[in-house]
């Protein structure tokens, strides 16, 4: 049997009563995303769900990934306007869309994408996204060190999100890359990165050759370190196309 080229898992954690994270898994569109909702009660769950649904529908209708995320921002705002009990809700988003040998990562907020490369040249974990957060602004201004990024008391304060009432549009950042053999893309909410450091993530990925077991191990590591937040982990490698799909079906 061919090995799966993607897998995703979300967990409520050990402290919270509800899971405000949401996963978008659409192999037919070669589209994957992690949304981390906020707003308390059911609001965060609504925001992350609206974001993912809007992005998927927009991509299906022919929008670019950036356009789809911008539409998701407006959709979350509209939902909060029509349903006053949801006022103030929002969601981060990190998404990847693959096309042939290329892929694009797009994000708003502090959910992250990492590139995991394991080849004959070695193993490397590279953060592709830059957090839209208060501490990231402090770091870029030289006010705090890189080490303080992960310990600052206001590290979870984000500077923009989908549904932000102060923003008529959001700044969707993107990174375009080419797939290389052995590449994995890791998308995750801050429930993982707040609990598990980059070196520990690297060590876990190094210990697993199959994507599903790597996903399980990362979620378990966040839980073992307290599970104070919802945690979502999604890993995808290059989707099979054409001849590659035939080889996978044959188990080659």
Q: What is the pLDDT of residue 221?
A: 98
User: What tens digit of pLDDT does each residue of 2-50 get?
Assistant: 789 999 999 999 999 999 999 999 999 999 999 999 986 679 999 999 9
CA of 212: how far to CAs of 3, 48, 95, 199, 216, in Å?
Answer: 9, 23, 19, 20, 6
More confident residue, 188 or 252: 188
Mean of all residue pLDDT scores within the chain? 92
User: What tens digit of pLDDT does each residue of 134-177 get?
Assistant: 888 888 888 888 777 777 878 788 999 999 999 999 999 999 99
User: What tens digit of pLDDT does each residue of 203-251 get?
Assistant: 999 999 999 999 999 999 999 999 999 999 999 999 997 644 544 454 4
User: What tens digit of pLDDT does each residue of 197-212 get?
Assistant: 999 999 999 999 999 9
Q: Could you say which architecture CATH assigns to the domain 6-249?
A: 4-Layer Sandwich (3.60)
Distant-in-sequence, close-in-space partners of 95: CB < 8 Å, separation ≥ 6? 24, 31, 32, 33, 34, 55, 65, 68, 69, 105, 106, 107, 187
Q: What is the pLDDT of residue 252?
A: 40
Q: What is the pLDDT of residue 112?
A: 98
Torsion of CA 12, 13, 15, 16, to 10 degrees: -20
The upper half-sphere exposure of residue 103, i.e. CA atoms within 13 Å in the direction of its Cβ, equals 22
Q: What is the pLDDT of residue 247?
A: 40
Q: What is the pLDDT of residue 153?
A: 77
């Amino acid at each position: 049997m061919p090995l799966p080229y993607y897998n995703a898992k979300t967990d409520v954690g050990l402290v919270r009563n509800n899971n405000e994270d949401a996963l978008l898994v659409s192999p037919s569109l070669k589209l994957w995303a992690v949304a981390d909702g906020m707003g308390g009660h059911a609001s965060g769950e609504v925001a992350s769900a609206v974001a993912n649904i809007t992005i998927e529908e927009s991509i299906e209708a022919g929008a670019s990934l950036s356009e789809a995320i911008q539409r998701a921002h407006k959709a979350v705002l509209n939902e909060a306007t029509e349903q006053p009990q949801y006022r103030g809700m929002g969601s981060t988003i990190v998404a990847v869309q693959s096309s042939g040998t290329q892929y694009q990562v797009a994000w708003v907020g502090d959910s992250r994408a990492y590139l995991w490369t394991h080849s004959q040249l070695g193993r490397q974990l590279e953060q592709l996204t830059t957090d839209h957060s208060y501490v990231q602004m402090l770091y870029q201004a030289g006010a705090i060190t890189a080490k303080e990024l992960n310990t600052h008391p206001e590290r979870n304060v984000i500077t923009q999100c989908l549904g932000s009432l102060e923003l008529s549009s959001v700044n969707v950042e993107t990174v375009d890359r080419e797939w290389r053999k052995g590449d994995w893309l890791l998308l995750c909410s801050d429930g993982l990165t707040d609990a598990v450091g980059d070196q520990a993530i690297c060590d876990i990925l190094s210990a697993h050759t199959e994507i599903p077991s790597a996903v399980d191990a990362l979620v378990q590591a966040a839980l073992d370190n307290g599970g104070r937040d919802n945690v979502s982990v999604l890993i995808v490698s290059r989707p099979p196309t054409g001849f590659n799909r035939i080889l996978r079906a044959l188990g080659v």
